[in-house]
Every structure is written in structure tokens, then in C-alpha cells.
Amino acid sequence: MTHREKVADARRATNGYAPVPDDSALMYGMVGVVLGGLLMITLSEFYSFSLVPHGIMITAGLITAFIAGAALRAIRKRAHARAYDDEFARQK
């Protein structure tokens, strides 16, 4: 089996259970901001709590959500790289 075939087989096997993230860290962060904002709005409406006077807390929450989204991409990319290395090592 050539090196090129080993790489192709490892990629195919890895994409089945640990696919490489398609989007950038910026996109993951923006999705985190949207989901965090929706969560804040939902909780504030449920508990009849006004978000308007708490701008600093809203900003801190959205920054945290952005960082969490970007960190999720890094974790998924690392998991993909680890799985690819394992699959490549299994190739004969």
C-alpha cells in the first residue's frame, strides 16, 4: 500500500467518527454568541428579569460564549487529528 493510499484510507475512516471542522473559529464563536444571546433572552423572559440595565454582564456573557465556541472548534480539530493519527498507524 502506498503512502497516498494510506493517507486516503485514514482520512476516509476518520471522517466517519471524528470529522474535521469545516468552519473557522470565528464562525464557531459567532454561533456561540447567538446561542448565548438566545439563552439570555429566554432566561430573562422566563424569570421576568430585564437585561437592559445589565450591559456589562451581557457583554461578559457574550464574550464567554464566543470563547467557548472557538474552544469547541479547537477541541474538535484536536480530536480529528488524534483520530487520524490512530487510523494512519493502523494502516498496513
pLDDT at 1: 77
Residue type, 78: R
The answer to whether position 59 is within a domain reads yes
The total of structural domains in the chain comes to 1
21 touches 80 (CB < 8 A)? yes
Whole-prediction pTM value? Answer: 0.83
Residue type, 36: G
Cell digits of residue 11: 482520512
The answer to whether position 52 is within a domain reads yes
The answer to whether position 35 is within a domain reads yes
The answer to whether position 31 is within a domain reads yes
Cell digits of residue 43: 432566561
The answer to whether position 1 is within a domain reads no
How confident is residue 3, by pLDDT bands cut at 50, 70 and 90?
confident
Can you tell me which residue has the cell 493510499? 5
Q: Tell me how far apart the alpha carbons of residues 92 and 90 are, in angstroms, rounded to a whole number.
A: 6
How confident is residue 58, by pLDDT bands cut at 50, 70 and 90?
very high
Domain extent, residue 33, equals 24-90
The answer to whether position 65 is within a domain reads yes
The answer to whether position 81 is within a domain reads yes
The answer to whether position 84 is within a domain reads yes
